[in-house]
């Protein structure tokens, strides 16, 4: 009996062809500290582009920054850790929570009144 004969046909055809779409998730990230008027949103957008993460980032009236990010869970973890490297920002707190899956065409900066 050859090795391929011991594996059901449907399993041997699926081997190595994992669809990552089903494992994507969306997270909400709220960052507080000195995070507005220091290039934080642009930095986050650039980091997301490097990791193929989709979503949006915006300033909030309370002085914090909010981002929604959709992507592979492992890449999202890396994305979160890379946010701390944004220059000129002084991050006091970074809160992350998982939310319902959201689809975004790209990663964009959403403008607000206090931009």
DSSP conformational letter for 23: G
Which residues are CB-neighbours of 107 under 8 A, at least 6 positions away?
Answer: 45, 48, 49, 53, 54, 55, 56, 57, 69
- Here the tokens at position 72 are 């592979």
> Of the residues 37, 59, 88, 97, which is catalytic?
59
> Of the residues 41, 45, 88, 111, which is catalytic?
41
- Has 59 been annotated as catalytic? yes
- Has 41 been annotated as catalytic? yes
| Catalytic center residues | 41, 59
């Amino acid at each position: 009996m050859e090795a391929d004969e011991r594996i059901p046909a449907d399993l041997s055809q699926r081997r190595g062809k994992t669809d990552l779409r089903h494992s994507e998730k969306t997270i909400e990230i709220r960052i507080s500290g000195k995070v507005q008027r220091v290039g934080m949103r642009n930095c986050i957008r650039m980091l997301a582009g490097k990791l193929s993460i989709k979503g949006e980032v915006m300033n909030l009236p309370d002085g914090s920054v909010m981002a929604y990010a959709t992507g592979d869970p492992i890449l999202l973890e890396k994305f979160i850790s890379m946010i701390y490297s944004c220059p000129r920002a002084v991050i006091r707190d970074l809160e992350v929570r998982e939310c319902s899956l959201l689809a975004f065409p790209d990663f964009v900066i959403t403008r607000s009144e206090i931009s």
